[in-house]
Structure 1
Amino acid sequence: MRPSVRFLNPSEAARRLGVSAKALRLYEQRGLVAPGRTAAGWRAYGPDELARAGQVVALRVLGLSLAQVAQVLSGDGQALEPALAAHQARLEQQGRQLAGQVEKVRALRAGLARGQTPEAEDLTGLLAPAAGLSVAFDLPWPWGGEPFVLGDIPPLTYITGPLGSGKTRLALSLAEALPGAIFLGLDRTAEGGAAVRAGLDAGPALAARIDRTRAWLVEDGATPSDDLLALLAALEAETAAALVIDMPEQGLDAPTQTALVAWLRRRGSDARPVFLLTRSSAILDLAALGIGEALLYCPANHAPPIRVAPYPGAPGYEAVASCLASPEVRARTAGMIAMMRHAESGGASTRPAAGR
């Protein structure tokens, strides 16, 4: 190993690449990457190894399976055609959305030239391309019936807030107000849970989609489980116009959460809306938010929920950051809360709480 070159251990390399260390190990097992070794035998990633791993990650983002990645890296460019066609379609859709945003900005500038100051709603609408869907309803308790309007709903919206802020009630209200929406609660993996049954008893077409997505996630480091199956059964089914998912991190380890969100982002700008009620920093990675994603925050003081722009300094951004914790911390918190409830109930058996 060249002493003047900076080498990273697997965890550092995974963070640099935006994947899990587990995914990086899978890439190595498939022969797609070959990290160097230190004198003590530890894996190490230098510039060449990172560049190679970066190629694998880029091809995965395009939607290729690891088998297809291997084909492309071995020189078979034809394996790229379906992925490039799908990526082109997504880019063209984004281009149309961005063109609409440009027209909005042009209109606002023209208004300024005439002495017209834009409304706050007009400026907020510039933060993300319009998804053509909006919803309005009266907020439930603890807000006391205040009107709430959410416009330009993108394919992926995160809902977060501190304990007791009312975010679960907001999520339930969204599911009730959005036509054709389904709320996927924490009982989705309970014995006989409808979501798990849907995954196990799916028809051939749905079963194939679930298996294909599950395989893609496992290749990206996810761990198969009933919790993951319940999510995929709902996400791949075509019965709901929108999905509101309570704590998608329930029962999923950190690599699985990371892989799941990466897959959700790949769905494209015209995908049906999915709302994720979460306090996991692996699900809601503030540094990774982009076009096609929105963030709703429920303040601790029961002020109405607000849409938070995804950059430091924006109103509510720091409050959102303070609500999030890593999957490991969330798991410890869930265990402590479960123990407390078990003690309070006199030792009666209860399903572990997830600590919202």
Structure 2
Amino acid sequence: MNSSTRFFSPSEAARHLGVSAKALRLYEQRGLVAPGRTAAGWRTFGASEMARAAEVVALRSLGLSLAEVARVLSGEANCLEPALAAHQATLEGRIRELAGTAEAVRKIRADLSRGNAPEPGDLPRLLASAKALRIAFELPWPWGGELFELGGLGHLNYVTGPLGSGKTRLALCLAETLPGAAFLGPERLADGCAAARAELEADAALRSRVERALDWLVGEGASRSDALAALLVGLESDRAAILVVDLVEKGLDQPTQEALMAHLRRRGDGARPLFLLTRSSAILDLAAMDGGETIIFCPANHSPPLYVVPHPGSPGFEAVATCIASPEVRARTEGMIAWRPASTGS
């Protein structure tokens, strides 16, 4: 090795690339990056490996699936055009939004120069965003009517808690209270997902969006299934401004759950807020969360729900970590409840 070349361990490489160590390991497993080895056999990333990994990270940031990234790196650049077109559209949308905001600021400044104060509501509207939305409501049973305040929304919001903690009731309240929200429950799986199939047959635009999402997910390692298609019908529908999804992992294996989360994260901060009810660690991956994601935890003792910061040692973190489990464990224990024999009299 050239002594002047800087070599990184996998954790250092991931930090410099701005991705998780888990993501970097996934790129290795799919053959997208190939680290070198030290004399002792440790994996290491030199200049060429870091350059290759940076290409992968950039392509992933454009929304390409792992399969599409592999094709681009092998010289098939045709799948790059739609991704770049979508990225351009996003940038142009941000430019239009910023131009509108700048014009509103210019108008307020012009009014101030003439001695006119801003109209009531001008400044809040200027600074308003989905993340600024704050709503308070009284909690239903099994709580005692305590007031729950929903803070600023992230693009991904998780609701979790042990069995019987009231998380589904909280989710229904969120769907009823949040403006333009809808609830997507387990009934989407009824009758072999017949309702979802009928909706796809009746809406060509929705069918096209679902098919594109399915192709991307399969390229990411997901398995096609009626359960995944039914979930995507709800996720890709544009009828609701905010969507609350119960049992999001129902019917999905672990690779599909992981691919689904990669799909939802690539939407970015400006996407429609989602509330995902889950107890799967593949959906609520504490190590993969970013700044646009929040956790609402419902304690077993029916204390009011609380926000949990995804860092060890923060209030509620250990409770969340012990509440969620891998898809394999969740499938093995589905429907099981704790049982304690009745005490016998002396």
Normalised TM-score (structure 2): 0.70
Q: Which amino acid is 1:230 matched to? A: A
1:78-123 CA distances to partner (integer Å, 9 max, x unpaired)? Answer: 7463365367579989x9xxxxxxxxxxxxxxxxxxxxxxxxxxxx
Which residues of 2 match residues 15-30 of structure 1 at below 5 A?
16-18=21-23, 27=30
CA distance in 2, matches of 1:147, 1:262: 34
Q: Is the 8 A contact 1:199 1:232 kept in 2?
A: no
Residue number in structure 2 paired with 1:176: 176
Which residues of 2 match residues 232-271 of structure 1 at below 5 A?
232-271=232-271
Q: Is the 8 A contact 2:157 2:296 kept in 1?
A: yes
CA distance in 1, matches of 2:223, 2:278: 19
Establish whether residue 299 from structure 1 lines up as the match of residue 299 from structure 2. yes
CA distance in 2, matches of 1:152, 1:7: 37
Residue number in structure 1 paired with 2:336: 337
Of the structure 1 ranges 305-314 and 275-284, higher mean CA displacement relative to structure 2 is found in 305-314
CA distance in 2, matches of 1:315, 1:305: 12
Normalised TM-score (structure 1): 0.68
Which residues of 2 match residues 305-316 of structure 1 at below 5 A?
305-316=305-316
CA distance in 2, matches of 1:53, 1:70: 15
The structural deviation recorded for 1:163 is 1.6
SS in 1 for 2:252: coil
Residue number in structure 1 paired with 2:317: 317
Which residues of 2 match residues 66-81 of structure 1 at below 5 A?
66-67=67-68, 70-71=71-72, 74=75, 79=81, 81=84
The count of residues paired between Structure 1 and Structure 2 equals: 286
Change (3 A) 1:16 1:315: closer
SS in 2 for 1:211: helix
Which residues of 2 match residues 114-193 of structure 1 at below 5 A?
131-191=131-191, 193=193
Residue number in structure 1 paired with 2:229: 229
Residue number in structure 2 paired with 1:82: 85
SS in 1 for 2:276: strand
SS in 1 for 2:132: coil
Change (3 A) 1:202 1:47: farther
- Could you list the runs of 5+ residues in structure 1 that have no partner in the other structure? 9-14, 37-44, 96-128, 341-356
RMSD in angstroms over aligned alpha carbons?
Answer: 3.8
Identity %: 53
Establish whether residue 218 from structure 1 lines up as the match of residue 250 from structure 2. no
Change (3 A) 1:337 1:199: farther
Q: Is the 8 A contact 1:195 1:231 kept in 2?
A: no
- Could you list the runs of 5+ residues in structure 2 that have no partner in the other structure? 1-6, 11-19, 37-42, 99-128, 340-346
The structural deviation recorded for 1:261 is 0.9
Change (3 A) 1:6 1:271: closer
SS in 1 for 2:325: coil
Greater gyration radius: 2
The structural deviation recorded for 1:269 is 1.2
